[in-house]
Amino acid sequence: MPRVPLTSRSPRRPVPTASAAVPEVPAPAASEAATPAPTDTPAKPVPRGRLRRFAARHPGPLWALAGATLALLVMALWLGVRPGQRLITQEHIDAAVRESLEKEPLPSAAAKAYEAIFPAVVRVTGLLDDKDDGEDKPEQRALDRSLGTGVVILDNGTILTNLHVVYGAKRIKVRFFDGSESDADLVGTQPENDLAVLRPRRIPDDLHAATMRSTSDLRPGDEVIAVGHPFGIGPSVSAGVVSGLKREFRSPEGQRELSNLIQFDAAANPGNSGGPLVTMDGHVVGIVTAILNPSEQRTFIGIGFAVPIENAAQAAGMPPF
């Protein structure tokens, strides 16, 4: 029996075509077509807006820049209106120094050395007559006294002087820098170097001891001063140089022969014996002990001798430098 074909009663839907599968996009309006399409690159901002934003974030640097600019302008104006500046040369500096020294001259090296040693220098008088009270009198004969100089080397008043200044004295008297006086005792001697050590019985409260220095670096030509009481006048200071080292001296009478002496040309006369020979820094390097006298006048002719302070310190029981 032939089959009867089966059919559906629902209406058949039309099959869509390729053109119908893509929906149609409506055409843009005329106003929309004039607007350009957006791009990925942002538009460049206006420079004025950038400066304002920078000023808002960093006000300090802008004020500093403005101040520096103003200062440069003021400096430029000042340089433009002021007269030309004089160039300072070495001649100007030398002239200023000379003018300053003329108004207030500096003390000499010898003056500064004397100031340093002055408080330690004493006048030493050896009284040879028991009736002598030690007072300075016009009628007092020079033969009745032995005048010389000494230097304080310790705070307790220990004094170095020459042995020939106090040799044979019945009484020893010392006068300090402040004018005060005291009797002194002979506590040590070193005849081979003509040295004596004295100890005063009273000392000033503000007594200063001298500073001593080794002679190991002393050289001929070094400046020195001799401080003492020549002919009882003093304290007096004279300046010169070291003339030689390791000299020998024999007294005219042949009673003394000294060696290893410092020769100097600072003026020294009778009364300077026992005084300090001082360098320009105020340090004692020797004890004045003799002058060369080819004549009988006993006046200085330019050659003096001093015992090195190393020997003098040993005489006082101090260790050598």
11-20, 214-223, 252-261, range with the lowest pLDDT: 11-20
Q: What's the pLDDT band for 105 if we cut at 50, 70, 90?
A: confident
Looking at the predicted structure, is the pLDDT value of residue 90 above 60?
A: yes
Answer yes or no: are the C-beta atoms of 230 and 236 closer than 8 Å: yes
Q: Is 109 helix (H, G, I), strand (E, B) or coil?
A: helix
pLDDT of residue 144: 61
Q: What's the pLDDT band for 255 if we cut at 50, 70, 90?
A: low
pLDDT of residue 8: 45
Using CA atoms, how far residue 226 sits from 25, 106, 214, 301, in Å, is 128, 21, 17, 15
31-35, 128-132, 239-243, 303-307, range with the lowest pLDDT: 31-35
Q: What is the mean pLDDT of residues 287-299?
A: 80
250: left (phi over 0), alpha (psi -120 to 50) or beta: beta
CA distance 164 to 290: 10
CA distance 263 to 245: 6
pLDDT of residue 250: 84
Q: What structural domains does the chain harbor? A: 114-200 (2.40.10.10), 211-315 (2.40.10.10)
Which DSSP string do the residues of 188-220 spell out, in sequence order? EEEGGGTEEEEEES---TT--PPEE--STT--T
If residue 79 lies in a helix (H) or strand (E), which one and from where to where? helix 59-81
Q: What is the mean pLDDT of residues 277-305?
A: 88
The neighbouring-strand residues paired with 189 are: 196
Looking at the predicted structure, is the pLDDT value of residue 296 above 90?
A: no
Instruction: Report DSSP state, residue 143.
Output: G
178 CB contacts (<8 Å, ≥6 apart)? 204, 206
Looking at the predicted structure, is the pLDDT value of residue 256 above 80?
A: no
pLDDT of residue 84: 55
pLDDT of residue 2: 47
Q: Which tokens hold the place of 50?
A: 């950038």
Instruction: Please state the φ and ψ torsions of residue 226, each to the nearest 5 degrees.
Output: -115, 125
pLDDT of residue 112: 95
139-148, 185-194, 273-282, range with the lowest pLDDT: 139-148
- Mind listing the pLDDT tens digit for each residue in 38-84? 445 555 554 556 666 666 666 666 667 777 777 777 666 665 655 55
The chain-wide mean pLDDT, for the chain, equals 79
Active-site entry in 132, 146, 194, 265: 194
Answer yes or no: are the C-beta atoms of 160 and 113 closer than 8 Å: no
19 is catalytic: no
206 is catalytic: no
86-100, 148-162, 268-282, range with the lowest pLDDT: 86-100
Q: What is the mean pLDDT of residues 250-272?
A: 85
164 is catalytic: yes
Active-site entry in 146, 236, 243, 273: 273
pLDDT of residue 279: 97
Active-site entry in 132, 146, 164, 236: 164
